[in-house]
């Protein structure tokens, strides 16, 4: 089971919308998915209530111990992907989720306050040595602000842009909020729209990142299999080393 955690201390960055979008995009590709909501505001629980199809996708866990117990239970039940949506601010449930994350996604709008607000979250992610990437969210369709924001995130993380910035960037469109209000993901609400296309592409980027991370851990644990893998996929090994 893989666990993705959407986290940043700043509210309004679009964590819940991205959680829904990524979860349903993964479900389309065959994953058994659950969303864990740690925000007492209940945005995703309300979204679940509006779906009305009897399918339980959202589970709540508002305390650190609940997060850990819920993750264990979901793994034992055969779930293949968990997306954790955290509250704004620095909270115990958020820290617990980060500890168990296979990938932390840090959403940020392309503005100075949003990018500055990633610093505290990034420090916790790095303290637990978890893989991470930024997601530039609610971006203008075009403009220089996007490039400036991307470069600022790169400087904040002190890593190459390709290593820390998820692709594609997610543009600000009404489809996201309209889908949430209807109890749908954007890929269900407007399956052929630009927003759905971006979310599906973002999931593909995340899935590849998760696969590379898992393969890297396996190679570190069992270096004797390196020659066989190198013979089969030299380019892939080069990317992971």
pTM above 0.75, yes or no: yes
Dihedrals φ, ψ of 91, to 5°? -125, 160
**Residue 79, in any domain of the structure:** yes
Residue 145 falls inside a structural domain: yes
H or E segment to which residue 133 belongs: strand 132-136
Contact between residue 195 and residue 173 where contact means Cβ atoms under 8 Å apart: yes
Q: Is 107 helix (H, G, I), strand (E, B) or coil?
A: strand
Residue 81 and residue 64: Cα distance in Å, rounded? 19
The number of folded domains in the chain is: 1
| Res 199: pLDDT | 97
Cα dihedral 124, 126, 132, 134 sign = positive
In this predicted structure, what is the pLDDT of residue 238?
36
pLDDT for res 157: 55
What is the C-alpha separation between 149 and 171, in angstroms, rounded?
A: 14
What is the distance between the alpha carbons of residues 104 and 132, in angstroms, rounded to a whole number? 4
Tokens of 211: 């696969």
CATH number, domain of 165, equals: 3.40.50.300
d(C-alpha 171, C-alpha 193), whole Å: 12
- The reply to whether 199 falls in a domain is yes
- What pLDDT is recorded for position 222? 37
Residue 81 inside a domain? The answer is: yes
| Contact present, 70 and 59 (Cβ < 8 Å) | yes
CA distances from 77 to 47, 71, 81, 239 (A): 23, 10, 11, 33
d(CA 136, CA 144): 14
**Does 238 map to a domain?**
no
> Is residue 216, in this structure, part of any structural domain at all?
no
Identify whether the C-beta of residue 97 lies closer than 8 Å to the C-beta of residue 7: yes
- Measured distance CA(53)–CA(35) in Å, rounded: 16
Please report, in tens digits, the pLDDT of each residue of the chain (241 residues total): 999 999 998 888 899 999 999 999 999 999 999 999 999 999 999 999 999 877 899 999 999 999 999 999 999 999 999 999 999 888 999 999 999 999 999 998 888 788 888 888 989 999 999 999 999 898 886 655 555 666 666 565 555 555 678 989 899 999 999 999 999 999 999 999 999 999 999 999 999 999 866 544 433 433 443 333 234 333 332 332 3
Its domain, for residue 123, covers: 2-210
Give DSSP secondary structure letters for 4-39.
Answer: EEE--SSTTS-HHHHHHHHHHHHHHTT--EEEEE--
Asked whether residue 183 is assigned to any structural domain, the reply reads yes
The token pair at 62 is 């508002």
- As a whole number of angstroms, the distance between CA 83 and CA 33 comes to 8
- Residue 232, in any domain of the structure: no
């Amino acid at each position: 089971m893989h666990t993705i955690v959407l986290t940043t201390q700043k509210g309004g960055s679009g964590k819940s919308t991205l959680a829904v979008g990524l979860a349903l995009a993964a479900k389309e590709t065959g994953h058994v998915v659950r969303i864990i909501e740690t925000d007492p505001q209940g945005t995703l629980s309300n979204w679940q209530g509006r779906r009305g199809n009897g399918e339980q996708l959202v589970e709540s866990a508002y305390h650190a111990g609940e997060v850990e117990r819920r993750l264990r239970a979901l793994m034992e039940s055969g779930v293949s992907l968990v997306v954790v949506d955290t509250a704004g601010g620095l909270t115990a449930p958020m820290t617990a989720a980060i500890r168990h994350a296979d990938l932390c996604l840090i959403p940020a709008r392309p503005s100075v306050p949003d990018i500055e607000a990633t610093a505290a979250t990034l420090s916790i992610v790095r303290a637990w040595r978890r893989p991470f990437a930024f997601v530039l969210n609610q971006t203008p369709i075009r403009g220089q602000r996007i490039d400036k924001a991307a470069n600022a995130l790169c400087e904040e993380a002190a890593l190459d842009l390709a290593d820390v910035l998820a692709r594609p960037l997610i543009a600000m469109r009404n489809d996201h909020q309209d889908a949430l209000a209807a109890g749908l993901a954007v890929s269900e609400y407007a399956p052929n729209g630009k927003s759905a296309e971006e979310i599906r592409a973002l999931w593909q980027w995340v899935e590849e990142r998760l696969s590379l991370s898992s393969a890297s851990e396996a190679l570190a644990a069992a270096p004797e299999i390196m020659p066989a893998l190198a013979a089969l996929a030299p380019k892939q090994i080069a990317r992971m080393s």
